[in-house]
Homo-oligomer: A and B are copies of this chain.
Amino acid sequence: MLGLLRTGLPVLRAAAGPQLQARSSQHDASAHARLLLSQLFQPLNLQVGGVAGCEGQAAELGCRSHRLMLQGGLIHPASPGCYHLLPPAVRSMEKLIRLIDGAMRNIGGQKVNMPSLSSAELWRTSGRWEQMGPELFRLADRHGKEYCLGPTHEEAVTELVAAHSNLSYRQLPLRLYQVTRKFRDEPKPRFGLLRSREFYMKDMYTFDASEEAARHTYELVCTAYRSLFKRLGLRCVQVRAATGTIGGTASHEFQLPADIGEDRLVLCPAGHFAANVEMVDEKQTACPACGEKLTQSRGIEVGHTFYLGTKYSSVHNAAFYTPENKLQLAEMGCYGLGVTRILAASIEVLSTEDSIRWPSLIAPYQVCFIPPKKGSREERGAALLERLYDDVAEALPRLAGDVVLDDRTQMTIGKRLKDANKLGYPYVVVAGRRVCEDPPVFEVWDQSSGTVLYLTKEGVIELLSKVQLP
């Protein structure tokens, strides 16, 4: 195929597209394209210390996930605290968003999409135009009208619901959420996607008819958050937290324990108490529930819930008609999940110093196929491995897009296996020595358990049929 380009027929090559290699087999009816690693836009800098475009930043890469995401071609810096998400990171984020969408749908969430440009008037009404200080990105339009770039949307959503002038108690609870870009002018953006100035967040806003109903909604969302992190295989601690500029009367953070976390947590080892240190009297050293000695830990905040009461509904007049046909203010809650931050935090807590590990559900690609090196003794295994790739793609169409063929056959299997280990594909399928047996036997590396299985084609397909996707 490369020959074509050299002999002046670039058109034929261009027609196939970058990562498309047409199958030359007889399966034309179900023809599909192979995903070739060499064609993916994922600039790899997997040598220790090598991070393209960040040579000057070495000192700032004090955080494992930031370094691994740069080395693995997942992100690329654009400006301080702003990153390009490269194709594998986009795939991972879209998988995470699908999981979150499912979790929100399960608790009756309805998805909306609110603008980033948020008028100053709106924020002045709630008093937060001043209160937020330099964290708000502010701008004026061509007519001099002031806006901020929404870091959160309590004002906007409350006004939206308030505009629904004949809202009835029958329509409550109302649980609106969105997954959009948010903006925060961090004084010191750092750690890549862990503390950036532009990021994706899932924010839900709930409206209930009574405090009791709102407290129930609050519990429901917290439970959904806990099961989401459980599905991701992430150990998450729900701690009591301060309400900050969002306000309200109760709040919890969802924290992934990690040394580089910016929050300090106070935990009861028996699990009876967990709080952000800001909520605890310094003198308190014993768990108020069981008396056990409290321990400290650091954590990365990946979610935050607030019971708001009528703080915003009273300002914007978000009211509903009661069964007695009287207007009453809605009881509100708001609930955030840091989408891009969860990607980085997962890598931070699951990876080793030099190898990325993903929650397997949201790994960008589930399987990597490694054919033998060109010119090696097993070279004739290449066709068998490619055939296996095609058979897997045909037998398991839902994995389409999730199986990569590492076609860098100028490299040894060992070197590519090392790269695959660093990139963290949940499964790696290798055409090693036993590929020449009859029937051919393939090596399958299960990265989560670190085990190797020797399987025939049927065995590989059966194993991969159990791969879960969101």
Q: Which of chain B's residues have a CB closer than 8 A to the CB of A315? A: none
Evaluate whether A174 and B41 lie within 8 angstroms (CB atoms) in the complex, with A85-B112, A117-B183, A160-B84 already known.
Answer: yes
A40 and B84 within 8 A (CB): no
Q: Which of chain B's residues have a CB closer than 8 A to the CB of A185? A: 141-142
State which of A164-172, A227-235, A434-442 sits at the interface with chain B: A164-172
B142 and A134 within 8 A (CB): yes
User: Among residues 152 to 199 in chain A, which have CB atoms less than 8 Å away from a CB atom of chain B?
Assistant: 156, 160, 163-165, 169-176, 180-181, 183, 185, 187, 197-198
B117 and A198 within 8 A (CB): yes
State which of A75-83, A236-244, A253-261, A417-425 sits at the interface with chain B: A75-83
A18 and B137 within 8 A (CB): no
User: Among residues 136 to 151 in chain A, which have CB atoms less than 8 Å away from a CB atom of chain B?
Assistant: 137-139, 141-142, 145, 147, 149
B112 and A212 within 8 A (CB): no
Q: Which of chain B's residues have a CB closer than 8 A to the CB of A10? A: 208-210, 212-213, 216
| Contact flags A317-348 to B (C-beta < 8 A → 1, else 0) | 00000010000000000000000000000000
Total contacting residues, chain A, CB less than 8 A: 88
Whole-angstrom CA separation of A397 from B401 in the bound complex = 23
A117 and B197 within 8 A (CB): yes
Whole-angstrom CA separation of A236 from B281 in the bound complex = 67
Evaluate whether A90 and B108 lie within 8 angstroms (CB atoms) in the complex, with A174-B18, A216-B15 already known.
Answer: no
Whole-angstrom CA separation of A17 from B219 in the bound complex = 13
List the B residue with the shortest CB-CB distance to A42: B110
**The one of B14, B180, B208 that contacts A14, using a Cβ cutoff of 8 Å:** B208
Q: Which of chain B's residues have a CB closer than 8 A to the CB of A395? A: none
B181 and A116 within 8 A (CB): yes
Check: A16 CB closer than 8 A to any chain B CB.
yes
A interface majority secondary structure: mixed
Q: Which of chain B's residues have a CB closer than 8 A to the CB of A18? A: 108, 110, 171-175
Evaluate whether A160 and B110 lie within 8 angstroms (CB atoms) in the complex, with A14-B217, A115-B82, A181-B116 already known.
Answer: no
Evaluate whether A171 and B85 lie within 8 angstroms (CB atoms) in the complex, with A15-B220, A142-B134, A185-B142 already known.
Answer: no
Check: A447 CB closer than 8 A to any chain B CB.
no
B197 and A110 within 8 A (CB): no
| Contact flags A96-128 to B (C-beta < 8 A → 1, else 0) | 000000000111111111111111000000000
A107 and B17 within 8 A (CB): yes
A113 and B139 within 8 A (CB): no
Check: A250 CB closer than 8 A to any chain B CB.
no
A112 and B141 within 8 A (CB): no
Whole-angstrom CA separation of A20 from B217 in the bound complex = 14
Q: A10-B212, A20-B108, A117-B197 are in contact. List 4 more A-B contacts (CB 8 A).
A: A38-B171, A79-B117, A85-B114, A87-B112
